Structure formats: C-alpha cells, structure tokens
Chains A and B, each alone.
Chain A
C-alpha cells in the first residue's frame, strides 16, 4: 500500500465526514433545542437534491441549483414545522417517531408523484469536474475537494452563528431552559421554526452537493439518515461540536475500514474469503465504533447527561 493511496483514502474519509456533518448538525440542533426526534430529516435531504436537479435541468446553473436546494429544503422544513412538528413538542418520543415516519412516506410518495420513479440527472459544474493534482502527486477529484471545503466553511459559519450572534444565544438558551427564555420575551415558536428551517436547509444543501456525484432518486435520504443518527449518538445528542467530531470519526472509520480490512484479512486467509469477511466486517465497523463509544461514555463524546 502506497502513501498516496492512503492519503487519498483519508481525504475520502474527510469528505464523507463533512457531508455527514451537514446532515447531523441539523438533526442534533433540532433534538437539542426542541427535544424532537426527526426521522424525516432524510426526506429534507432528498428535497434539496430534487430541487437542485430540477433547477439545474431548467437553468443549467449549478449555483442557482444550490440556492434552490437551500430555499426548497428550508421552506419544506418551515411548512412541516408549522403544520405537523409544532404539535409534537409536548408529546413523547414515540409519537414523534411515528409522525415523522409518516412524513417520510408522504415526502417519498409526493416526490415520486411529481418527478416519477426514475432517477434524475444532476451533474458536477464544469469548473469543478475532473481531478486536480495535489502536492505529492495525489490525483483527487476537484469536486470532492470542494465538498470538503464547503463543509468546513459551513461548520465554521455554524460555530460563529451559535457563539457570536443573538440568534445563537437564543438557540443555546433554548437548549438550556425553554420556559425561561419564553418568560424573557423571546418568541419561542418563531425560534423553533427558524431552527427547524436552518436544520432542513443544511440537509438540503448536503443533498444537492452529494446529488451531483450520486443518484438523485426517491429514498436517497434514508441510508444517510441512519449514518447521521450514528454520528449524533457518538457525538452526544444535542452537541454541534459532538456532531462534527462524530461525523469525522464515522467518515474515517467507514472509509478506512472498507479499504484496510479486506487487506488485513488477506494476510491470514485466501483472497476471495478475505474479501467477503473483510467487507462484511467493514460494513459493521461504525456500529462497533458506536458501541465502544457508548460503553466508555454512555452519553456520547460531548453529551451531557
């Protein structure tokens, strides 16, 4: 195994990590501030991807497509919050899971109804297509590099938003004690709608970014949703910092596991058996990681009890 291949795989892990962070940030924010488990978060990811594909198809501009994904997912999030989610804050988690699961079905069938069952086309913008040669002779796709940078920029922006702005103060206060900030005159329902729309916009953005290198199709959000839940459980539910660290951990573990494990087993058994055993174990690895983290820190890395 060469160093170049290893560094390329680390970059791949980083890229998967920041993409997962965009999903997990919204999920953990919504749980932290409102105490809501939102299974329909993956549907907002899908909404972003479909909006981007539709706008890119109509205008040919990737930038417009990205903006459309943010707008569409935020709007879908706000509408869903006002119509459905608002009624669930006082209910227990089981009711929330049931209602948001119903939302998944509604979003999926609604999308199928509008766009049909066949995957849509969303391409990488011409400026970002093809590979770029990094120092050390590593050829890496420009677009993936752009995803890493965009994800890190969003993480930085989110950090500033939460630590340095008035809205950030309200969000943190809302996490700590929601009755108190309502008593202090903050319009809590408006804040909730805003946070939900923000989380939705992040998911939609992730969907559009990833849609360009994967397939834009109904049901694309659910596999990512499961990973995002693993991320926030590892990071500590409600913690943005935890989501960031957890996302990078999961991204690295998954990518490097898929790449290294079959080779590792290859040292002890014949190649085709090693491939089978290695791939099977690699697909479990992030769950093993989650179990280990929970064993040591039952509330996750940055969770508060």
Chain B
C-alpha cells in the first residue's frame, strides 16, 4: 500500500528560472494499519495539514505503512534512502521501531525528525546531530506524572507498563521524581488485552494510587476493566491512554482521571487555537496529541527550509536546532541533545456534551528538559 502526495508540481518552470531551491523530499514511515493505526494516521494528518497550510510546492512526502513491525520499518527505510533518495525521514510511532530504523538512517546522513518515539537510548549515548525529537523524550510525561503524584500526596503507588523500551522508560521516568513508596511494580506483555490478574494484585497490594503507561488499545482495556473491578484508587498516567482517539472508546470510565501531556486542545496560544480549528475543519474530528506532534514536526521542517537548503547539511541542521516556529504547545526549544525543553501540563478527563476530552488543570513541570543531556556528547 502506498500513498504518494505530490504537493503541487516540482515544476520545470522553477528549474528553468533557476530561482527556486531544490525542495525537500520527506520519507514518512508510520503505522497506518493494525492496532496502532489511529496514532500513525493522526501524525500523518497533522503533518500533511501543516504542509498544506504552508502553501509550499517544494515539499514532497512519501508515506508508507510500517504495520507496527520493526522488520517492515527497516525495509521501508532502506527503500526510502536508497531508491526514493529522501532527504528527511519522520513518522515512526513506536520506540522499538525507532531503535531499528533511526541509528542506521542518521548514520547515512539523513535527517530524522521524530514526531513521537523518544527512547532514552537515542537521547543519551546514542544521540546524533541529525536526530531531532519534536515530541518528547520518553521519560518526560512520566516524570511529570511522578511530580504530580507528589503534589497530590500519593505515598504508595502501584505502577505498571508493558515490557518494551518505552515501558521501561515509563517506569524509570515515574520513579525519578516520585518521592513515595511503591506498592508494586509490574511489566505486562506488549499488546496484552486482559488485565484481570494485574487488577487483582492492585486490589490486594494496599496501594493508595495507580500509575500506568499503556498506550492505544491496551489502555482502553485496562481502564474499562479497572472501572468495573470496584477498585477506586486514583489513577494517574501519561496522556497516551487518555488521548482524543481513544477516550470515546473508554467512555465514562476515564472521567476525572489526571494525565500529563505537553499539549492539550485547550492550550491558549494563537498557534494552537488555529491548529485545533483547522484540523477539525479539514478532517471532521478533534485533533489528538499525536496530531499536534505531526503538525509541529512539519512546522519545524518548514521553518528550517526557510532558512537553509537541505543540501547544505550543516546550515540545515543549525536551522532545525533553532526551532524557530510557533509550536501548538507554546514555548518550545531544543536541549543540547535535540530533545524538547517544554512545559508539561496536568490534564483532567472531562465530558463536553457527548464528547470526552481533556482540560488543563495545572502545569506539572515548567521548561522541562530531560535526564540524558549529560550522557549525550553534543
């Protein structure tokens, strides 16, 4: 399956006058089928919306579906680098896929702009001048959840996450700022859908709160089962399980849950108001966290293209590093390891008419960077 979006003609007229720059060819590998498709589709739609709004006809985007499989992602990356000859790559949702693709791509001199996955390995020792993460380092939202747990007075949390790189980063992140004890710590299987055994352990553990990181369908299953189990400890988690795409499927079970996010649809800045409105007008649904990240990724790319030509790698890299664009999340800058410095907010799940959504209730961490800056040599 292959979609090709040629944004206008890369026209002979431009070549004839010799005035326009060459343009940029972007390779987007993301998850468009299977269980995690909602995330990839939002990233793609957010990205393409920004490209369309820029009105530029010199951005060509090649989009491919990785089916959430590392081996497929690696093949697609090879194809994009060798036969499509893309300049910039982006799109990967899952950390295990990012670990399979990103190191090889940046080693071959391609720029990689991550709209989602931010594994600790790529922020610390494995950082690379050509790798930029526009979303977050994986630990960030969990660190904010840990900080929020302290503020809320939680003393004995039960924590769980799937057993894969981002899950391990999640629990590490939560424990970094959380000051209380742990009533229990569980790694579940990636893709697990039944949490009865874990919920029984939570019930028996004497915990006073639950922190979990279960993105996509896993979070839906957990929350529905948790709400039905009669365990009514307060729940806190990163935004991934309380995202616009899945809140409707969870329903009232999620109401009142606190979650941490670098973005929310009610953030009051001009860029975000315009983004939420235009995304709804274009696609007929509310944007999610992932859509905002896709949108910001494209904005970053466009801001760099305005300053430098992609063929001049050093200038283009410096232009990316400047992050000179109006992010939907407000202030945004890159730390020295090319991961964001940004505010992380605490949101609460609310109901607006028929629609379940989030509203910001507090700022969890201000101008938060990440714990791996010193490990990275840049």
Q: Which applies to chain B's interface (DSSP): helix, strand, loop or mixed?
A: helix
| A272–B163 alpha-carbon span in the complex (Å) | 12
- Which residues of chain A are within 8 angstroms of B201 by Cβ–Cβ distance? 5, 259
Q: Which residues of A contact B104 (CB under 8 A)?
A: none
A119 touches B249 (CB 8 A): yes
> Can you name 10 A-B pairs with beta carbons within 8 Å?
A5-B203, A118-B248, A121-B251, A131-B229, A131-B230, A215-B193, A217-B220, A218-B37, A219-B34, A272-B185
Interface size for B (C-beta < 8 A) is 37
Contacting residue for A275 out of B38, B186, B228, B229, CB 8 A: B186
- B249 and A12 contacting across the interface, CB-CB below 8 Å: no
- What separation, in Å, do the CA atoms of A2 and B201 have in the docked complex? 10
B11 on the A face (CB < 8 A): no
- Taking the complex as formed, is B96 at the interface, i.e. its CB lies under 8 A from any CB of chain A? no
- Is A21 located at the chain interface by the 8 A CB criterion? no
Cα–Cα distance between A303 and B41 once the two chains are bound (Å): 46
Residues of A within 8 A of B (CB): 1-2, 4-5, 8-9, 12, 15-16, 108-109, 112, 117-121, 123-124, 129-131, 139, 141, 143-144, 210, 212-220, 223, 255, 258-259, 262, 271-272, 275-276, 279-280, 283
User: In the complex, what's the smallest C-beta–C-beta distance from B365 to chain A, in angstroms?
Assistant: 24
- Counted as pairs of residues, one from A and one from B, with CB atoms less than 8 Å apart, the total is 125
Per the bound structure, the CA–CA distance linking A123 and B224 in Å amounts to: 8
Q: What's the Cα separation between A218 and B224 when bound, in Å?
A: 18
| Cβ A120 vs Cβ B249 within 8 A | yes
Query: Chain B nearest CB: distance from A25 CB in Å?
Result: 19
Partner of A119, one of B32, B196, B217: B217
Which of A15, A121, A283 is in CB contact (< 8 Å) with B196? A15
CA distance A12 to B230 in the complex (A): 15
Contact indicator A217/B204 (Cβ below 8 Å): no
Q: Are A255 and B196 in contact (CB under 8 A)?
A: yes
Closest chain A residue to B168, Cβ basis: A276
Chain A residue at minimum C-beta to C-beta distance from B196: A12
Among the listed A9, A15, A217, which residue makes an inter-chain contact with B217, where contact means beta carbons less than 8 Å apart?
A217
Q: How far is the CB of A179 from chain B (nearest CB, A)?
A: 42
A275–B323 Cα distance when bound, in Å, is: 40
Given A219-B34, A220-B193, do A5 and B186 touch, yes or no (CB 8 Å)?
no
Closest chain A residue, CB of each to CB of B182 = A271
Which listed residue, A112, A124, A131, A272, touches B37 by the CB 8 Å rule?
Answer: A112
Given contacts A112-B33, A219-B34, A279-B188, 9 further A-B contacts (CB under 8 A): A1-B204, A8-B200, A16-B194, A119-B249, A130-B230, A141-B225, A213-B221, A214-B194, A216-B249
**Which 10 residue pairs of A and B lie closest in terms of their CB atoms, listed nearest first?**
A131-B230, A215-B220, A12-B196, A119-B249, A215-B217, A214-B221, A279-B187, A5-B204, A117-B37, A219-B35
CB of B187 within 8 A of CB of A4, answer no
Q: Does B150 contact A (CB under 8 A)?
A: no
Contact A223:B200 (CB < 8 A) given known A130-B228, A130-B230, A214-B220:
no
Asked if A255 contacts B228 (CB within 8 A), the reply is no
Cβ–Cβ < 8 Å partners of B299 in chain A: none
Asked whether B224 lies within 8 Å of A213 as measured between CB atoms, the reply is yes
| Chain A residues with CB under 8 A of B163 | 276, 279-280, 283
**Considering the chains assembled together, what is the distance between the CA atoms of A215 and B32 in angstroms?**
18
B166 to chain A, nearest CB (A): 15
From B187, B194, B220, B224, contact of A276 by CB (8 A): B187
Do A121 and B187 touch (CB < 8 A)?
Answer: no
Chain B nearest CB from A213 CB (Å) reads: 5
* Min distance, Cβ A226 to any Cβ of chain B, angstroms: 11
B263 CB to nearest A CB, Å: 19
Contact B197 A118 (CB under 8 A): no
B204 CB → nearest A CB, Å: 4
Contact with A along B202-237 (1 / 0, CB 8 A): 011000000000000100110011001110000000
B170 to chain A, nearest CB (A): 13
Interface pair B38/A119, CB less than 8 Å apart: yes
CB within 8 A of B224: which of A130, A214, A259? Answer: A214
B335 to chain A minimum Cβ distance, whole angstroms, is: 27
Q: Name which residue of chain B comes closest to A19, CB basis.
A: B194
> By the criterion CB–CB under 8 Å, are A220 and B35 in contact?
yes
Q: How far is the CA of A5 from the CA of B202 in the complex (A)?
A: 10
A278 to chain B, nearest CB (A): 8
B43 within 8 A of A: no
Q: Is B189 an interface residue (CB 8 A)?
A: yes
Complex interface: chain A residues within 8 A of B187 (CB): 275-276, 279
| Interchain CB contact under 8 A, B249 and A118 | yes
* Cα distance, A120 to B250, chains bound together (Å): 9
B197 to A: closest C-beta gap in Å: 5
Contacts of A216 in B (CB 8 A): 249
Measured CB to CB, the nearest residue on chain B to A121 is: B249
Task: Report how far A220 CA is from B193 CA in the complex, Å.
Answer: 9
